[in-house]
A and B are shown apart, each in its own frame.
Chain A
Amino acid sequence: MANIKDMAKQKELFSGGHRACAGCGAAMIARQVLLAAGPDTIVVSATGCLEVVTTIFPYTAWNVPFLHSAFENAGATISGVEALYKSWIRQGKYDKKLNFIAFGGDGGTYDIGLQSLSGAVERGHNILYVCYNNEAYMNTGVQRSGATPKSADTTTAPVGKVKKGKEQFRKDLTGIMIAHRIPYVAQSIAGNWRDLTSKVEKALSMEGSKFINVFQPCRLGWGYEPELTCEMGRLAAETCVWPLYEVVNGVYRITYKPKVKKPVSEFVKLQGRFRHLAKPENKALLDDMQATTDKNWEELLKKETFSAATQENAAKPA
Chain B
Amino acid sequence: MVKTNTVARTGNEAMAEAMRQIDPDVVAAYPITPATEVVQIFAGYVADGLVRTEFVPVESEHSAMSACIGAAAAGGRVMTGTSSQGLALMAEMLYIAAGLRLPIVLADVNRALSSPINIHCDHSDTMMVRDAGWVQIFSENAQEAYDNMVQAVKIAETAKLPVIVTTDGFIISHGMERIDMLDDAEVKKFIGEYKPEYYLLNIEKPVTVGALDLTDYYFEHKRQEIEAMCQSKPVIVDVGASFGKLSGRSYGLFEKYKMDDAEYAIVAMGSTAGTSKIVIDKLRAKAVKAGLLKPRVFRPFPKEEIADALKGVKALAVMDRSDSMNGHEGPLCLEIKAALFDKALNKVLLNYIYGLGGREIGLNDIENIFGDLAKAAKGTGMEKVNYLGVRE
Q: Which residues of A contact B (CB under 8 A)?
A: 39-40, 42, 44, 51-52, 55-58, 60, 62-70, 72-73, 75-88, 90-91, 94, 96, 98, 115-116, 118-120, 122-123
Contacts and interface: CB of A to CB of B under 8 A. Distances in A.
A73 B63 contact: yes
Given A65-B206, A77-B70, A79-B56, A84 B76 contact: yes
B203 A40 contact: yes
A42 B210 contact: no
Interface of B is mostly: mixed
Contact of B200 (A39, A42, A90, A118): A42
Interface string B200-217: 111100111111111001
B214 A56 contact: yes
A42 to B, nearest CB: 5
B62 A94 contact: no
Contacts of B76: 84, 87-88
17 contacts: A55-B210, A55-B212, A65-B202, A67-B210, A68-B209, A69-B66, A69-B73, A70-B66, A73-B93, A79-B63, A80-B71, A82-B70, A84-B54, A91-B52, A115-B60, A119-B59, A119-B63
B113 interface: no
B212 A79 contact: no
B71 A83 contact: yes
Interface string B52-90: 111011111011101111111111101000000000000
Contact of A62 (B71, B73, B93, B208): B208
A83 B69 contact: no
Contacts of A120: 63
Given A76-B67, A78-B70, 5 more contacts: A40-B203, A42-B74, A44-B70, A83-B70, A87-B54
Contact of B26 (A42, A57, A80): A80
Interface of B: 25-26, 28, 52-54, 56-60, 62-64, 66-76, 78, 92-93, 96, 100, 200-203, 206-214, 217
A83 B72 CA distance: 10
A76 B201 contact: no
Contacts of A52: 212
A67 B217 contact: no
Given A55-B208, A63-B206, A76 B66 contact: yes
A57 B212 contact: yes
A60 B208 contact: yes
A88 B202 CA distance: 12
B58 A119 contact: yes
Given A65-B202, A67-B70, A69-B93, A76 B209 contact: no
Nearest to B54: A87
Contact of B210 (A58, A68, A86): A68
Contacts of A66: 200, 206-210
Contacts of A119: 58-60, 63
Nearest to B102: A69
B63 A84 contact: no
B74 A55 contact: no
A55 B210 CA distance: 8
Contacts of B69: 67, 69, 77, 80
A98 B70 CA distance: 15
A215 to B, nearest CB: 26
Contact of A81 (B60, B70, B100, B213): B70
B362 to A, nearest CB: 43
A12 B26 CA distance: 32
Contacts of B26: 80, 83-84, 87
A33 B96 CA distance: 27
A197 to B, nearest CB: 21
A57 B175 CA distance: 49
B73 to A, nearest CB: 5
Contacts of A65: 200-203, 206-209
Contacts of B212: 51-52, 55-57
B206 A64 contact: yes
A76 B62 contact: yes
B70 A84 contact: yes
A80 B59 contact: no
Contacts of A67: 69-70, 73-74, 200, 209-210
Nearest to B209: A67
Which of A40, A81, A90 is most buried by chain B, counting CB atoms within 10 A of its CB? Answer: A81
Contacts of A80: 26, 28, 56, 66-74, 78
Contacts of B57: 123
A283 B78 CA distance: 58
B201 A42 contact: yes
B367 to A, nearest CB: 48
A184 B201 CA distance: 25
A79 B52 CA distance: 17
Contact of A87 (B52, B200, B206, B214): B52
B211 A60 contact: yes
A58 B221 CA distance: 12
Contacts of A91: 25, 52
A39 B204 CA distance: 9
A86 B217 CA distance: 35
B66 A77 contact: yes
B70 A68 contact: no
A98 B208 CA distance: 17
A84 B25 contact: yes
Contacts of B53: 87
A204 B49 CA distance: 30
A77 B68 CA distance: 8
A84 B67 CA distance: 10
Nearest to B97: A69
